[in-house]
Structure 1
């Protein structure tokens, strides 16, 4: 079952939808993240841009 807060949020969006610029911004950020993920997945991401894990000392 859906939370009533989500129903209120959906009705707010239906009455006042986001602007076209905001939608383009969100899709642009998603595309950029997918591009970075794809570059890293293919192995083209440079080593200097990769963070190394520091082992925890217990």
Structure 2
């Protein structure tokens, strides 16, 4: 394990993130899961889908 990660874990153990930040992160994860679920079920509109641009070699 990288020593930088050990230092980060020790900082988090001493001063954990606030409840507001934890709610914010879980909200972002829930929003991403909701968008993925809508797209997976086929309800995502075509106008919101990005088209792949072919690469020219």
| Structure 2 runs not aligned, ≥5 long | none
Give the structure-1-normalised TM-score: 0.91
Q: Moved runs in structure 1, 4+ residues, more than 4 A?
A: none
Counterpart in the other structure of 2:37: 38
RMSD: 0.8
Instruction: Give the total of aligned pairs.
Output: 57
TM-score, normalised to structure 2, is: 0.93
Question: Where does structure 1 lack aligned partners over 5 or more consecutive residues?
Answer: none
Deviation at 1:17, TM superposition (A): 0.7
